[in-house]
Amino acid sequence: MPAFLIPPLLWAQAETASPPASQAAQNALLWLYLAGDTSVAIPGLLGALLTWAKIIGLVALVGWVGSWVVTAVKERFVGVGRWYDYLGLLALALIPLTVFVQVIQTEGWIKPVTIAGLPLPSLMSYVAVLSLATWALVGVWKTIGPFGRPADKLTLVGMALALALGVGAGVGMIQLGMFHRLPDMPEMSWRDGVVHGTRLGVTFMGYVVLARVLSLLVGELFAVRARRLSAIARVTLYESNRKMWAPWVVLIVFGMVLAFTHWFLQPPRAAEMGRLYVGTLTLLCSLLLTAMVTILTPISLPTDIQQQTIYTVVTKPVRRLEVVWGRMLGYMALVTVLVALFGGISLTYLWRTVMGEITRIEALSDRARSDGREREANQYSEQAEQLRSRMAARVPVKGSLSFLDSKGDPHAMGIDVGQEQSMKEPRSHIEGATPAAAIWRYGMVPDPFSPPNRPVILDRRIDVSQFLPLGTVEGEENRVFEIQAQLAALEREKSQPDLTPSRSSQLDASIARWKGDLDKARASFEAVSARAAELEEAGDEAGAEALHAPPLRIEMTFNIYRTTKGEVGKPVYADIELTNEAAGSKFQDVFPVREYYTNRLLIQPSVLVGCMGSLRIDVRCMSPTQYLGMAESDLYLLADNGDFGWNYMKGLFGIWLQAMVLTAIGVFAGTFLSWPVALLTTIAFFIAGQLAFGFLIDFTRQAVLGGGPFESLIRLVTHDNQMSELAPTAGVVVAKTLDSLVMPIMSMLVYIVPNFQVLDVTNTVADGFAVGWRHMLGNTLLALAYALPFSIAGYFILKNREVAA
């Protein structure tokens, strides 16, 4: 049923309502679909939360049913040879058999078989699922009677209702024809509706169980006391400090590595020294902290249990949740102290080495200049300048980039010169000495990639007050312009013919108010500019400059693609033109492009006056036969240079978040595994999330070449490449069957393994750009979304475990 995976089509369908159904019913079904289908995700925070709830719900469902079934087996309610146990066995045998039949069908060993209109594998899988569900249901039913509370029984009822709701929704969607008129969609029967509805139902069952779990948790949450939490945190801190010497080991290793950095890191080109050193230092912090957490957290609980010291804790009135969270708090306190220490030490180190390097390079530049070696002198001062700009937290204001081709026709992308490059934000090129241009637009601008007849509008307005602060000549002048624009808008509205009298009088009042403001703004603009002119006449340059807004800074990084060598040693020139369409002012300049360097331009701030947040920047290549390459991030207005130290600490906060997630996993693993296994589990999670997350995503999308693990093994052994079709021998069929069994389970990992990479923002810091607060908040939410469920799962396991029986 591939159409279920295409939500945009579904949305489109939803807009054109089918006659028999009311709009409300359609909407309700649509929401049920979005809330129930795990394969669709809507963008934005709400979508993220919904996906999160779906996954957590399903995990809770599996956990809840699993725990009851385990109890049932332990209490010998099932697995004793009754009729339903044979159903369980049947399911166990049928699942691999179904996959096998499916594989041999696709490999062409047997012809597709259809029984009563149903393909054989589907029929087998329905039987298997039904038998397994029946067996599990009997187990849960029999156990919940004597052992369960009324709430559990209620949950069971709720689950039944949820399933019914899901099936109802599925059938309803078919009946109302919500998939009916999709192009290329085969005729759907009520059976498809039931199958799809069951999938929705399972997710809804997950919500029901999630509600039950939350109800169990609420009481525990209210019972948590800060006093006990801090006591356990303190004990954890002492333990890691005294028993493992963990912070000291980590600190000493850090110091050792720092003292001998030159062994591991050759002094690179001066321009990139800061970036390399920042990258290396943050990597070191990250490695040490995560290694420490990975080793400490999973060991602590199992050791306590093994050495029976846990008795002294659990016999006290301490909640189990406090045991888990207290431990996490303790470790995070340790990590916090270490992050602060690492941050301080590495900042001092960076300051000393990088600033020292800048001084050294500048001295070299001066000497070269006095010796008349102009080229070298320029090279040195350029390198020092680059290094300086990286040791900042630049806040870029980015526009939306579109292109004109060599004939002057607009395009979303420029020319692809076929250069191998990073595909994160590939650069495209404009041809020199032609009408080709790269245009960065600010303001409310259409997304160049959206279709022209249905443009998506992007908000790329410049916050002008950032560049032209009030109290300066330009700032005040801009204010006058803004008020004038406001007045003009009001006047326009007032001249509308069908204006109600009340609105008209409202408008009159506002116009009068704004006019007053305009007079005031004009007066203050005149006062400031008169004062500035006075100071300038009096020769007080600095005083006059203080009354003007700081120059507008534009930074650019272009790459050059030469089709001919051109004149030896002569750079490629670019032409830049700023157009403030609202106020009609312009600025134009020509500059030599330095490839891989940040080219800077300082511009009189007055070009922004009255721009109302929109601006257009055109860049052209002037040298004939040469090409200039750019991506959207390659040109920006620099709003602020920021403080590097603070930004560096924000980078370390990302590492702190990684450590938090890892702590949760470590403690979680420690609640039910012996320490060596818990340790390995935590390491596995870290490696999968840090190094192999991209691979996991490919795996889930089935985008891995060469098949699953077993098929790959065959390819490895037989030296077959990833692309060739394997002959359907018995071995290959068995391997593919095993893969089909294993791959869906492994695909689930992508939902459970935390994406550690995305929490790491140190690259941004190393590149000298500020890490935004929104970005940090998003990352914090993400980290919590991983850490909380792991810690709570740990709590439930610890609660049900007989640690001190």
Partner 1 sequence: MRPTNQTKKMVYGIVIVALLVAMVPATARVNRIKVEKDLGEAAIGQIDSGSFMMKLFLLGGFRGIVANYLWIQAEDHKKNHDWDRLKATVDLITKLQPHFLSIWTFQGWNLAYNVSVEWDAPEDKYDWIKQGIKFVQEGVRNNQRSPDLIWDTAWFYYHKLGFSDESIILRRLFRDDEDEGFKTYYDPEERRDVVRNDNFQLGYGWFSRAVSLVDEGGARVGGGTSSDITYIDPTPQRKGRADDIAFRSMPAHAQTHYAAALEKMSIAGVEATFGEVAKNEWAKALREWIKFGQHKFMSHNVVLRDGEYVKDEVYLDDATNPEKFKTLPENAQYWTDRWASQMNYRYWKERAQAEMTSEGVAARQSFYEGTKAYKTGDFATAAEKFREGLAIWDENLKGFPTYRDDDLSRKDTGLVVKRYVRVLRQLGEPVPDVFPFKDLLAAAEADNTVDPFDAIEMLGVGAGEVSSAPPPSQPRASDAPATRPGG
Q: Is residue 216 within a helix (H) or strand (E), and if so which, with residue range?
A: helix 190-223
Residue 15 as a binder of partner 1 (CB under 8 A): the answer is no
Other beta carbons within 10 angstroms of residue 134's beta carbon come to: 16
Which residues, at least 6 apart from 539, have a Cβ–Cβ distance to it below 8 Å? none
Residue 405 as a binder of partner 1 (CB under 8 A): the answer is no
Residue 594 as a binder of partner 1 (CB under 8 A): the answer is yes
**Distance between CA atoms of 636 and 395, rounded to whole angstroms?**
9
**608, 580 contact by CB (below 8 A):** yes
Q: Report residue 449: phi and psi, to 5°.
A: -90, -5
Query: Smallest distance from the beta carbon of 723 to partner 1, in angstroms?
Result: 20
Q: Which of 606, 658, 690, 762 binds partner 1 (CB under 8 A)?
A: 606
Residue 769 DSSP one-character state: B
Q: Which of 334, 364, 490, 631 binds partner 1 (CB under 8 A)?
A: 364
**402, 542 contact by CB (below 8 A):** no
**Distance between CA atoms of 37 and 604, rounded to whole angstroms?**
55
Query: Smallest distance from the beta carbon of 481 to partner 1, in angstroms?
Result: 15
Which residues, at least 6 apart from 591, have a Cβ–Cβ distance to it below 8 Å? 573, 574, 576, 599, 601
Tokens standing for 659?
A: 């450590």
Contacts (CB under 8 A) with partner 1, residues 412-431 = 420-422
Tokens standing for 159?
A: 């689950």
Residue 272 as a binder of partner 1 (CB under 8 A): the answer is yes
Query: Smallest distance from the beta carbon of 149 to partner 1, in angstroms?
Result: 53
Residue 374 as a binder of partner 1 (CB under 8 A): the answer is yes
For residue 437, the cross-strand partners are 404
CA angle (519, 522, 524) in 5-degree steps: 110
Query: Smallest distance from the beta carbon of 423 to partner 1, in angstroms?
Result: 9
Residue 269 as a binder of partner 1 (CB under 8 A): the answer is yes
Query: Smallest distance from the beta carbon of 654 to partner 1, in angstroms?
Result: 19
Query: Smallest distance from the beta carbon of 264 to partner 1, in angstroms?
Result: 6
Query: Smallest distance from the beta carbon of 565 to partner 1, in angstroms?
Result: 5
Query: Smallest distance from the beta carbon of 612 to partner 1, in angstroms?
Result: 18
**Distance between CA atoms of 659 and 293, rounded to whole angstroms?**
7
Residue 550 as a binder of partner 1 (CB under 8 A): the answer is no
Q: For partner 1, which stretch binds (CB under 8 A), given 81-89, 142-150, 351-359, 371-379? A: 371-379
Q: Please give the full DSSP string across 485-543, using - where no structure is assigned.
A: HHHHHHHHHHT-TT--HHHHHHHHHHHHHHHHHHHHHHHHHHHHHHHHHHHHHTT-HHH
Q: CB-wise, 590 or 777, nearer to partner 1? A: 590
Q: For the chain, first and last CA: distance in Å?
A: 51
Q: Which of 379, 510, 712, 780 binds partner 1 (CB under 8 A)?
A: 379
Residue 283 as a binder of partner 1 (CB under 8 A): the answer is no
Residue 596 as a binder of partner 1 (CB under 8 A): the answer is yes
**Distance between CA atoms of 579 and 443, rounded to whole angstroms?**
12
Q: CB-wise, 362 or 376, nearer to partner 1? A: 376
Q: For partner 1, which stretch binds (CB under 8 A), given 18-26, 40-48, 200-208, 593-601? A: 593-601
**Buried-exposed string 575-606: b where 16+ CB fall within 10 A, e elsewhere:** ebbbbbebbebebeeeeebbeebbbebebebb
How many separate helices (H) and strands (E) can be counted in the chain?
27, 16
Residue 589 as a binder of partner 1 (CB under 8 A): the answer is yes
Q: Is residue 197 within a helix (H) or strand (E), and if so which, with residue range?
A: helix 190-223
Residue 275 as a binder of partner 1 (CB under 8 A): the answer is yes
Q: CB-wise, 226 or 602, nearer to partner 1? A: 602
Residue 607 as a binder of partner 1 (CB under 8 A): the answer is yes
Query: Smallest distance from the beta carbon of 243 to partner 1, in angstroms?
Result: 23
Q: Return the closest-CA partner of residue 384 out of 601, 598, 648.
A: 598
Query: Smallest distance from the beta carbon of 339 to partner 1, in angstroms?
Result: 23
Residue 265 as a binder of partner 1 (CB under 8 A): the answer is yes
Residue 586 as a binder of partner 1 (CB under 8 A): the answer is yes
Q: For partner 1, which stretch binds (CB under 8 A), given 183-191, 237-245, 377-385, 744-752? A: 377-385
Q: Which of 467, 514, 525, 587 binds partner 1 (CB under 8 A)?
A: 587
Q: Return the closest-CA partner of residue 358 out of 403, 397, 388.
A: 388
Query: Smallest distance from the beta carbon of 416 to partner 1, in angstroms?
Result: 15
Q: CB-wise, 555 or 632, nearer to partner 1? A: 555
**240, 723 contact by CB (below 8 A):** no
Residues that bind partner 1 (CB under 8 A): 260, 262-266, 268-269, 272, 275-276, 279-280, 364, 368, 371, 373-376, 378-379, 385, 420-422, 551, 559-560, 562, 565, 567-573, 575, 584-596, 600-604, 606-607, 622
